[in-house]
Structure 1
Amino acid sequence: MKRVIILGCCGSGKSTLALKLAEKINSEVIHLDTLFWKPGWVQSSSEEFIMRQESLLTGDKWIVDGNYHGTLDLRLEPADTVIYLDFPTSLCLYRIVKRRVMYQGKTRPDMARDCPEKIDLEFFNYVRTFNRKKAPAIKKRLNNLEGKKVYLFKNSRQVEQFLHQI
């Protein structure tokens, strides 16, 4: 387990898992949100986002936290391990609201500089519909992977057991 991708709905715990796993296996964590967003919630261009990822994915050991489906193949190619957090929508919605309250007026550590935590209707609806609209395609893609170790976790207890076994 040297090159790990962590996928799942917003609020599923990708960043938290990435940090815990990095501590266990002594690895660098790459939060895709810090590569995609510029200060003030300005999006990077596709070319810029791809170049930033490519430069970091050359390392021997890393954990990448985030979905960004348009560049998923870029990360899947060098990855040896994929973890998918398949958590209930209600839990993810609860966690994004909790996160918004916890970081009100502040920027999370796994987010780009000067991007204070926010929830708008578009983001809320993305999380609300993720398991119905986005997850099936991701799971299908993961089922067709060859030569990669794939973990699918349905709850936090499974994640904790996984971390305990490492």
Structure 2
Amino acid sequence: MKKVAVFGKPGSGKSTVSKALASALGLPLHQLDSIVYKPNGEFVARKEFDAIHNDILRSDTWVIDGLGPITSFNERLAAADTLIYIDLSYSVSYWFVTKRLLKGLLVKPEGWPDGSSILKGTLNSYKTLKLCPKFWNDDFLSKLMEHKSSKEVYVIKTVSELNDFVLTQTK
């Protein structure tokens, strides 16, 4: 694992997995929310995002956490040697987003952009979760599995699988 893409629905544990992998493997971690958003919560200009994203992809090692624009997501899938899709149930993802909000009232959530509103981000996560079935679906999963011949592909479907994955990767 030298170039790792971690992706999935909001509240699926991407930041937790990414941080653990980056630490265990000694790879630089790039959380897309910190690249996509300005400190005030607004989007960065697309050209600025693309330049930063392309610089990361050209580097020798990385862990990238998140989705970002679809064209950059597809570029990341092509460049990565390891793909980690966290596909927890919607009820679990909604719960994790809610839990992040509640904890975020006290402590900034892992990977959360500086200066961004936890309430506004949570509402955006709920809206995104509602739209997710249009993207994160069986068709996406079958296209993802086509990469198995040339890349390591992990699909994590339960919280226990998520916890086990983190434990095995960090030993």
1:72–1:157 distance in 2 versus 1, CA, 3 Å: same
Q: Distance in 2 between matches of 1:22 and 1:59?
A: 15
Q: In structure 2, the residue corresponding to 1:123 is in which secondary structure? A: helix
Q: In structure 2, the residue corresponding to 1:43 is in which secondary structure? A: coil
Unaligned ranges ≥5, structure 2: none
Deviation at 1:105, TM superposition (A): 7.3
Q: Distance in 1 between matches of 2:117 and 2:106?
A: 5
Partner of 1:95: 96
Partner of 2:87: 86
**Which has the larger displacement, 82-91 or 58-67?**
58-67
Superposed CA deviations along residues 71-128 of structure 1, whole A, max 9, x for unmatched, are 11221222000000110001110111111111127643412221131222x5313213
**Partner of residue 128 from structure 2, selected from 126, 140, 145:** 126
When the two chains are superposed, the root-mean-square deviation of aligned CA atoms in Å is 1.9
Q: Distance in 2 between matches of 1:160 and 1:71?
A: 28
Partner of 1:158: 161
Unaligned ranges ≥5, structure 1: none
Equivalent residue letter for 1:148 = K
Which has more helix, going by share of residues? 2
Q: In structure 1, the residue corresponding to 2:117 is in which secondary structure? A: coil
**Partner of residue 148 from structure 1, selected from 145, 151, 157:** 151
Q: Distance in 1 between matches of 2:100 and 2:39?
A: 19
| Count of residue correspondences | 164
Q: TM-score, normalised by structure 2?
A: 0.86
Q: Distance in 1 between matches of 2:143 and 2:24?
A: 27
1:10–1:106 distance in 2 versus 1, CA, 3 Å: same
1:162–1:101 distance in 2 versus 1, CA, 3 Å: closer
Q: After superposition, where does 1:1-166 map in structure 2 within 5 Å?
A: 1-68=1-68, 69-104=70-105, 107-118=108-119, 119-120=122-123, 122-130=124-132, 132-136=133-137, 137-145=139-147, 146-166=149-169
